[in-house]
Amino acid sequence: MILVLSNNYSHIKEKLSEAGLKVTHQRIVIMDSILRLDNHPTVEQIFDLIRDANPSLSLGTVYKTVETFVNNGLLSKVSTNEGQMRYDPKLHNHGHIYCGNTSEIIDYYDEELNDMILNFFKKKKVNNLKIKNITLQINGDKIDPEKDILIK
Ligand SMILES: [Zn+2]
């Protein structure tokens, strides 16, 4: 059986153009790998995924490209306790649960929690601050590393 991949990367080309970036093969490959990894990857993880198929790409190039994506609003940075920079293609308002013992970052969003924080700041009468967004990061360890974290 021959598996034909019909992915023509049109969604990625569109993203790059909308961000005002030139559409290059390199940028497409790097953005595609970030979307496929879907785990808030590090530059090294991105590089590992694409190096075999793209031997001319260096780790430095991946790093520079990812920073360009951040500067043009295509990715946001997530820092971890280990001081490792991770990258997030999901740009909607959400928080993270970071598991120190498994290095997982789990997306988390709760309207009720956001409202509670906003109300808290309102009640405390914080002066001279306009809150634009709330990015909450909860750091912890998985109790059983083999199991998923369940949020009710
Ligand atoms: Zn995220």
CA 81 to ligand 1 centroid distance, Å: 16
| Residue 99 marked as a ligand binder | yes
Assign 150 a pLDDT band (cuts: 50, 70, 90).
confident
First to last CA, the chain: 43
Calculate mean pLDDT across residues 56-79.
95
| pLDDT above 60 (res 4) | no
Region 140-152 average pLDDT: 90
| Cβ proximity of 27 and 16 under 8 Å | yes
105 C-alpha to ligand 1 centroid (Å): 7
Residue 7 pLDDT = 65
Residue 152 clears pLDDT 80, i.e. is over it: no
pLDDT confidence of residue 136: 87
Identify which has the larger pLDDT, 69 or 1: 69
CA 61 / ligand 1 centre spacing (Å) = 23
CA of 46 to the centre of ligand 1 (A): 16
Domains of the chain plus CATH, in order, are 11-91 (1.10.10.10), 92-142 (3.30.1490.190)
Query: Which whole-number Å values give the CA distances from 143 to 82, 149, 150, in the listed order?
Result: 19, 9, 12
Average pLDDT over residues 50-69: 96
CA distance 8 to 134: 35
Counting runs of H as helices and runs of E as strands, what totals does the chain give? 5, 5
78-123 tens-digit pLDDT: 988 778 899 999 988 889 999 999 999 999 888 898 889 889 988 9
3-state secondary structure of 106: strand
138 CA from centroid of ligand 1 (Å): 12
> Residue 27 Cα, ligand 1 centroid: separation in angstroms?
21
Which tens digits make up the pLDDT trace of 5-58? 546 789 999 999 999 999 999 999 999 999 999 999 999 999 999 999 999 999
